[in-house]
Structure 1
Amino acid sequence: MQSKLPSHAEYVIVGGGIIGLSTAFHLTRLGHHDVLLLERDQLTCGTTWHAAGLVTQLRANENMAKLAQYTAGLFHELENLTGQSTGFRQSGSITIAATPARLEELKRGASMGRSFGLEVEMIDAAEAKRRVPLLDVADVIGAAWIPSDGMTSPVDTARAFAAGARQGGAEILERTPVTRIIVEKGRIAGVETAEGVVRAEKVVICTGMWTRTLAAELNWTVPLQAAEHFYVVTEAIADLPSDLPTIRDMDAHFYAKPDAGKLLVGFFETRGKPWGMDGIPHDFSFDSLPDDFEHIEPYLINAMRRIPALENVGLQLNFNGPESFTPDNRFLLGPAPDIANLYVAAGFNSCGIESSGGAGKVMAEWMSTGVPASDYWEMDVRRAMPFQRNRRYLRDRTGEAVGNLWALHWPHKSPETARDVRVSPLHDRLAAAGANFGEAAGWERAQWFGGAEAPTSTHATFGRDDWFKASGAEHEATRSGVTLFDQTSFAHLLVQGRDALALLQRLSTNNVDVPVGRIVYTPWLNERGGMESDVTIARTGDDELLVVTAAVQRIRDLAWLRMHAKGAGHVFVTDVSSGYACLSVMGPRSRELLMRVSPADFSDAAFPFATAREIEIGYGMAFAFRMTFVGELGWELHIPVEQALGIYDALVAAGRDLSLRHAGYVALNTLRLEAGYRDWGSDVSDEDTPLESGLGFTVAWKKAEDFIGRTVLESQRALVPRRRLVQLVAPKAVPLMFGTEPVWRNGSLVGYLRSAGFGHTLGCGVGMGYVHSETGVSAEWLAQGTFEIEIAGERHAAIASLRPFYDLNRTRVKGEWRKAEDLIAPELLLARSKE
């Protein structure tokens, strides 16, 4: 008999699939016993019951890989912990490559996996055949073997989580649907059910494909959509090995695994089929969808070619069931941006079983302490933009998202569907100039320019093709002349009121109490000293400051400001992002160009670095910030949107005889890497302190006001960090670096690159990554080591430094002219000159 609904619980979990049950289990493991899980029907009745149960650990980034690795380790012991069998076994996985591009991706993935502590072995076709005799390897040129991968029974594993949660004191009530999330004064208050109201301290929504609709009722964007997912189960196959590993052929879009003497073969089609656009029925439980053999037939034929045994066996089951997908194929975890103590864990893109243990642990820790235990920015729900709950957008993007799971993950690749959602007023001008557009936070942003007469590709490759040459020319033009970057995607947050300065002093490590017209770059920290964001703040009035931040940070930073503004006195926070376009004029001839279109005095004396001033330009007005993210003299022009076209045209006309060139975000990235500028989300995040990240210069130790995270920084201040962000170059490496490459010192793995690109001025690959040493990462420790960077399985000699390899003293930023080649670090020049 079901227990009576309690009137109060400290933690309420909405949803009884494997994610919700894992969260309940992990909350009790942390010592929380007042935990209530409410399931609308029966446990696992949504998606969990029909999942394939694959346990794969190599993921797109470190933290997603950690979730999967933790899950696999937990599945090893879950039965012993709970007394409930799970069916988990580790029989390994093999991923096939039949094209050079796929092999290159697998090699790079294997290197990345090693940097995350995962054993990945690259094998040839003969070895693949030996390990899996069922395979036809006639066209196979290589494969990746992961011995610790495996499979589990989703329902039994979910039951084990439920058993463990109950043993830890959690209460689980089935057939108790939550009809409303109760919010009072911006905080979670509880949940409403047909049986009554439960008051709650914290609530997490784990309702899978129902989550978008439930969150939208609270004006909260949780962008996910169900899509049909297909698999077939064969009749029994004689002598099928019981320890057969999971088989993946991503170019053929299928996977296969043993299933009680049969083969289960599933598909991730090039274009999926969104389902339930008008909402998922509340009574959809243990249900399947109509089969569509015509849709999956091409992929089943591919599977038969790879596994010939399939040609001689019938199909016992043709299954179709819905699973939820997100626009960027990343999970949705974390807190609601504007509702305190409300969380979500959903959108697992057909990876929910293999990530369930890690996701439950993350959510339990996050809810328990208020901050994540590690950097989960890639999965943080606060990256979602309001427009992403638009159903037409989700329908079009979800069809592609299914295929993107296994499509080649080219560098700088963006989705093809649901584009042009957010465009700069200059979009058509840039397109006419040959822009190749990528997407960030819904914004169309120029990645590189292929020329007005030349069609541009939709992504980069792993090699030095047209994209490399085009972005390289933009890079070189920025170092030698003048370039124009459209950075309209910047978010602009206006903070006003007599207590505005006090609020920003509390949030910022740097001193924001500067004269009107000055600019401050500063991190914002959490209580553990990690960087919640890094922003540029312009003092635009005595009681007014303008915060400029990255496009992807808009919702997160706005929520951070508003949360801390509550109770902070007379202060108002306004998102004015839609009112501004931004053009960055960069390079040693930027001053010359601006003087042609504006009467303002751009001299060093009148307009020093970190100055913000309203200027006349063209026929309009703009806020000009003397700032740079490329390591050159330059200005950001923050322009009222309605004046952007006129000012752009004036700049282009005035710059013709200066060889003014358009430049995109790929060049922006390679330029900033050479100059050692950090990028939030890549090089710094909410678990990295400024002292570990080489940003100690942003900490105003002597300012009178206290700031969040200062206590942690004070404890690190006199120490040599054991973990430190360093810059690395590979002087002789031919393969390109893109980030996640392992870093070796004296033959030992010490870290990996967080971001990387080709430094066209330096003449080699350059990147940044955290390296580790128990004795401390100092300049001496770096100098005494022999470093290598592993690229696609091969190690290449590298140089590591705490300082940038280009223009260490920022001479070009200060407006001093020296040849770019004279500003390259001597140790790199020496390494390049050696045979």
Structure 2
Amino acid sequence: MNTIPRSARAVIIGGGIVGCSTAYHLARMGWTDVVLLERKKLTSGTTFHAAGLVGQLRTNANITQLLGYSVELYNRLEKETGQATGWKMNGGLRLACNQERWTEVRRQATTARSFGLEMNLLTPSEALDLWPLMTVDDLVGAAYMPTDGQANPSDITLSLAKGARQAGATIIEDTEVTGVTLEDGVIRGVMTEQGPVECEKVILCAGQWTRAFAATVGVNVPLVSMEHQYMVTERIEGVTSNLPTLRDPDRLTYYKEEVGGLVMGGYEPNPIPWAVNGIPEGFHYTLLDSNFDHFEQIVELALGRVPALQTAGIKQLVNGPESFTPDGNFILGEAPELKNFFVGAGFNAFGIAAGGGAGMALAEWVAKGEPPFDLWPVDIRRFGRPHFDTDWVRTRTIEAYGKHYTMAWPFEEHSSGRPCRKSPLYDRLRAKGACFGEKLGWERPNWFATNGMEARDIYSFGRQNWFDTVGEEHKACREAAVIIDQTSFAKFTLKGPDAEVALSWIAANDVQRPVGSLIYTQMLNDRGGIECDVTAVRVATDEYYIVTGTGFATHDFDWISRNIPRSMNAQLVDVTSAYCVLSLMGPRARDVLEKVTGSDVSNDGFKFGTSRVIGIAGCPVRALRVTYVGELGWELHLPVEYATTVYDALMAAGAAFGLRDAGYRAIESLRLEKGYRAWGADIGSDHTPAEAGLSWAVKLKKDIDFKGRRAAEHQRDTGVKKHLACFTTDPQIVLSGRETIYRNGVRVGWLSSGGFGYTLNRSIGYGYVRAEEAIGFDHVLSGNYELEVATKRVPCSVHPGPLYDPEMKRVKC
């Protein structure tokens, strides 16, 4: 047994591909006093039995970039370290067996082009030329990505470990970490079988053991173990060493070459959870018993594609447990519950593809305090309260596993683990025809079924079954009034003697306003990127009420709380569950409100951008005059016990004015017309206010310092290389985001969001127009534009500002 150091700059727990990749990248960044501790042998957890396919394309540009970095690293790693990796860039094929799958593949090809990847669409005969063992009678077409490939999981991990050692990292096997040492909530080190190791940072990359270990220090990592099987054959005639990897999603299967034979696996719709009551003691370098009965359904699907499997000899049916997550994305980042505790886990059977990039990103996060680029889709802070319950996590993860190869429909909702978190109005709205979606466990009305419709989404890549109904809700908001249950908003209070000065430091806009003021503000990182996009209401001299999006509850709470200067007396409290939110929006909203309150809600008496407590049906309601739909309106925030009473009063008063229920799909359409940005799509930590057209919300003209000010000033002085712009095109074109933007025939970006504007009767998209040098918005407006939609280019128009003007009641298009 090796002697371990007694102190280190950081300790990595876990010697799979992600732990070794993190050690490799930290050491190459100069962190030579990094120690990786593996309880048994490197790769002995789950890495050793991974299938080893390496694909790159995802629906997010930065995650695609991260996977692309894995390929870049694997291309050079063997030469750099002298350790074999088994890496082959033999390309990857993806098949389409029906028209809807072909539409999905064509949209993926456009996404690939948007993100700078080469993806070629092939005819069935062209696909057969690349993969001659398959039958193609049912194929509509295929996509080929030449830079995809495959690796030997153990070899590539050992190569990363060797590279880490060469750069100065220490890697020690057969040494179990038994706990983390905390002192007043601060990491002081780890305990091992050989004694303590002092350190300030811990990086947990323990695969399926991560959730249980993290829980010992109060950190929540939502993953569970699932059985995953693949078959390894003997040599098959016609299988060559350069055979591309193959994914056949309509048959739920994947293939790769191995020693002249095939590896064939898949994602069955009825997966089997493993270790429901905990992982057995001493489990390592261990496979589960092969389950031929369960795998038979995959074999039957595979035989129809690869007839040679009928006579092929079978070496082994590998059954190995792997960690999967509730949304199918892996988990990276610093835990919101514990400073300097980092996690890299939950790789959903594509850990080899992600390992190189995930280790790079995690290393930079540890060393620099932030990731190299926006990684929100995999950020550990995307989870919330339901994810603390392992049974709920497992239920949702079973669904996510079963959907691994099913069609990725636009607007698709999960069905498992529901309902979980409900507004007090849930049953009432359901009885009125609400079709609910879910976010962070919350049930939220997406749209309301009318005229005998079933409150159920019917998915397609065209206009879906709710399209016309949402149009009616949209029209009601533009012409009369709607009420939208937005109780799921995340809501915090920041209170204390230093609340004003603390929030002034964190917020980019000026929050030093009188009591009753409502301030829309971003919160920036040191690069000037937008970390949060919130509304702050000053409710007292020492208190602010902060409202943000449902899905950002954990992220935004963490960002605000960790950036309150230690010397300041201000406390942040999550009050989300205490308040219901009813958004009353539309030109007749004031008429409705006047019927239910004695307070002055006239334009002079209740100005835009202000907040007051008013009475409705005996309830104290905090009314915020604000809008995300581009119409007169109020958000009404009230204690949950009053929800049904206030809702009924509003609906009764609104009957004479055409008030109706509306949902989140209408909100999306309305906000697109008005040009309001969505965090996580149009804006995020890689985008600055200047780039997003939000400089007006940054207090650079005031002598108030704030986080990110230096970067904002620098951009003001030197200009920006990208601008968010609005595009419209023919109403028959369906935009959903990631469509490629062409300016004067040259690719300059992609749509960050897309949808339909019913008032305009046009499809609308937003995206950044990029350039190599600083550009002004006149550059953006001067070009001739096209959008590539499912590989077809269509003409579009670019616009300088909002498309809809509620004051003039007209469109600018």
Structure-1 residue corresponding to 2:124: 125
Query: Match for residue 618 of structure 1?
Result: 617
For 1:517, give the aligned amino acid: G
For the pair 1:785 / 2:772, whether they are aligned, the reply is: no
* Greater Cα shift, 185-194 or 585-594: 185-194
Aligned to 1:738: 736
Deviations, residues 293-316 of structure 1 (Å, cap 9, x unaligned) = 222212210110011111222322
**Quick one: distance in 2 between partners of 1:87 and 1:619?**
71
CA contact (8 A) 1:272 1:401 kept: no
- 5 Å-filtered alignment, 1:109-258, equals 109-258=108-257
The answer to whether the 8 Å contact 1:22/1:158 transfers is yes
Determine helix, strand or coil for the equivalent of 1:288.
Answer: coil
SS of structure 1 residue aligned to 2:250: coil
- Note the alpha carbon deviations across 1:368-393, whole angstroms, 9 max, x for none: 11011100111110111133131211
The DSSP-based 3-state class of the residue aligned with 1:411 is coil
DSSP 3-state at the match of 2:797 = strand
Code of the aligned partner of 2:755: G
Are 1:417 and 2:404 an aligned pair?
no
Shift of residue 568, structure 1, vs aligned partner: 3.5
1:395 Cα shift? Answer: 2.2
Distance in 2 between the 1:705 and 1:141 partners? 61
TM alignment of 1:289-438, pairs within 5 A: 289-438=288-437
CA distance in 2, matches of 1:804, 1:29: 47
1:375 counterpart SS class: coil
> Equivalent residue of 1:776, what SS?
strand
Aligned counterpart, 1:268: 267
Tell me the SS of whatever aligns to 1:436. strand
Name the counterpart of 1:6. Answer: 5
Q: Distance in 1 between matches of 2:322 and 2:243?
A: 26
The one of 790, 793, 796 aligned to 1:795: 793
Contact 1:338 / 1:563 at 8 angstroms: preserved in 2?
no
> Which residue does 1:750 correspond to in 2?
748
Matched, 1:487 2:495: no
Quote the residue 2:768 is aligned against.
Answer: 770
Distance across 1 between alignment mates of 2:488 and 2:610: 21
Aligned equivalents of 1:394 and 1:625: distance in 2?
A: 35
Query: Any idea what SS the aligned residue of 1:67 has?
Result: helix
Q: Is the 8 A contact 1:434 1:452 kept in 2?
A: no
- Greater shift in the superposed pair: 23-32 or 290-299: 290-299
Q: Which moved more, 1:271-280 or 1:101-110?
A: 271-280
Partner of 1:546: 545
Mapped pair 1:34 → 2:33: yes
Q: CA RMSD in A?
A: 1.4
Residues 1:779 and 1:692: Cα distance change in structure 2 (over 3 Å): closer
Q: Verify the 8 A CA contact 2:222 2:390 in the aligned structure 1.
A: no
Task: Evaluate the alpha carbon distance shift between residue 797 and residue 551 of structure 1 in structure 2; reply closer, same or farther with a 3 A threshold.
Answer: same
1:670-689 mapped onto 2 (5 Å cutoff): 670-689=669-688
Mapped contact 2:177–2:190 kept (Cα < 8 A)? yes
Distance (Å, rounded) in 1 between the aligned partners of 2:563 and 2:772: 36
Matched with 2:101 is 102
Q: Which whole-Å CA distance do the structure 2 matches of 1:391 and 1:587 have between them?
A: 42
Residues 780-789 or 66-75, more deviating: 780-789
The letter for the 1-side match of 2:811 is I
Paired residue secondary structure (1:169): coil
- Tell which deviates more after alignment, 4-13 or 593-602: 593-602
2:512 corresponds to 1:525: no
**Structure 1 counterpart of 2:59, one-letter code:** A
The Cα offsets for residues 774-815 of structure 1, whole Å up to 9 and x where unpaired, read as: 3433232123211111111111111223412222xxxx3xxx
- Corresponding residue for residue 507 of structure 2: 508
Structure 1 residue 338, shift from structure 2 partner: 2.9
Shift, 1:465, TM fit: 3.0
Establish whether residue 710 from structure 1 lines up as the match of residue 714 from structure 2: no
**What is the CA-CA distance between 1:609 and the residue it aligns to?**
0.2
Amino acid at match of 1:628: T
Runs of at least 4 residues off by over 3 Å = none
- Deviation (angstroms), 1:658: 2.3
Give, as a single letter, the amino acid of the residue that structure 1 aligns with 2:552: Q
Q: Tell me, yes or no, if the aligned pair for 1:488 and 1:582 is still in contact at 8 Å.
A: yes
Structure 2 CA distance, aligned partners of 1:422 and 1:523? 28
Q: Could you report, residue by residue, the CA deviation over 1:177-200 in whole angstroms, capped at 9, with x for unpaired residues?
A: 111012223332211111111111
Task: Report the Cα offset of residue 127 of structure 1.
Answer: 1.5
How much does 1:39 deviate?
Answer: 0.3
Contact 2:386 2:440 in 1 (8 A): no
**1:450 Cα offset (Å):** 1.6
Counterpart residue type for residue 626 of structure 2: M
Partner Cα distance (1:806, 1:657) in 2 = 26
Letter of the aligned partner of 1:646 in structure 2? T
Secondary structure, aligned partner of 2:163: helix
Q: Quote the Cα distance in structure 2 between the aligned partners of 1:572 and 1:452.
A: 50
The aligned residue for residue 608 of structure 1 is 607
1:107-140 residue CA offsets vs partner (Å, 9 max, x unmatched): 1111001111110111121222222121211111
Q: Is the 8 A contact 1:474 1:667 kept in 2?
A: yes
Q: Deviations over 1:64-88 (max 9, x none)?
A: 2111111011111000111101011
* Corresponding position: 1:824 with 2:797: no
The whole-number CA distance in structure 1 between the counterparts of 2:795 and 2:28 is 45
Q: In structure 1, the residue corresponding to 2:484 is in which secondary structure? A: strand
The equivalent of 1:833 in structure 2 is none
Contact 1:517 1:613 (8 Å CA) reproduced: yes
Structure 2 CA distance, aligned partners of 1:604 and 1:733?
36
SS at match of 2:200: strand
Q: Offset of 1:406 from its aligned partner?
A: 1.4
For 2:709 and 2:609, locate their aligned partners in 1 and report how far apart those are by CA, in whole Å: 24
Q: Which one-letter code corresponds to 2:503 in the other structure? A: L
Moved more, 368-377 or 648-657: 648-657
Can you give the 5+ residue segments of structure 2 that lack an aligned partner in the other structure?
none
Determine the C-alpha separation between the residues in 2 that align with 1:24 and 1:423: 43
Matches within 5 A, 1:451-466: 451=450, 453-458=452-457, 460-466=459-465
Q: Distance in 1 between matches of 2:666 and 2:529?
A: 28
What is the rounded CA distance, in whole Å, between the counterparts of 2:596 and 2:744 in structure 1?
55
Deviations along 1:497-534, one digit per CA (max 9) or x if unpaired, are 11111100111111111111110000111111111101
Measured in 2, the distance between the counterparts of 1:120 and 1:295 equals: 34
Deviation at 1:537, TM superposition (A): 0.5
* Per-residue deviation, 1:455: 1.4
Deviation of 1:598 after TM superposition, in Å, equals 1.6
Q: Is the 8 A contact 2:16 2:205 kept in 1?
A: yes
Indicate the percent of aligned positions where both proteins have the same amino acid: 44
Tell whether the 8 Å contact from 1:520 to 1:536 is kept in structure 2 after alignment: yes
Compute the displacement of 1:460 (Å): 4.0
State the Cα deviation string for residues 36-73 of structure 1 (Å, max 9, x = none).
00001000001100000001011121122111111011
* Contact 2:332 2:344 (8 Å CA) reproduced: yes
Report the alpha carbon displacement of residue 733 of structure 1 after superposing the two structures with TM: 5.6
Of 225-234 and 617-626, more deviation after overlay is shown by 617-626
Question: Which letter maps to 1:771?
Answer: V
Taking the aligned partners of 1:406 and 1:618, their CA distance within structure 2 comes to 51
Cα deviation digits, residues 555-607 of structure 1 (max 9, x gap):
12222222233523322221111100101011111111111222222111000
Amino acid at match of 1:784: S
Letter in 2 for 1:373: P
CA distance in 1 between counterparts of 2:787 and 2:33 reads 49
What is the TM-score when the length of structure 2 is the normalising length?
0.98
CA distance in 1, matches of 2:305, 2:287: 28
Query: The residue matched to 1:24 in structure 2 has which SS?
Result: helix
Provide the C-alpha distance between the structure 2 equivalents of 1:566 and 1:503, rounded to a whole number of angstroms: 7
Following the alignment from structure 1 to structure 2, what is the Cα–Cα distance between the partners of residues 60 and 186?
A: 38
The CA deviation at 1:621 is 2.1
How far 1:459 moved relative to its partner?
Answer: 5.5
Is the contact between residue 493 and residue 572 of structure 2 (CA under 8 Å) also seen in structure 1? yes
**How do residues 622-661 of structure 1 correspond to structure 2 at under 5 angstroms?**
622-661=621-660
- CA offsets 1:322-347 (integer angstroms, 9 cap, x no match): 11111111111000113221110111
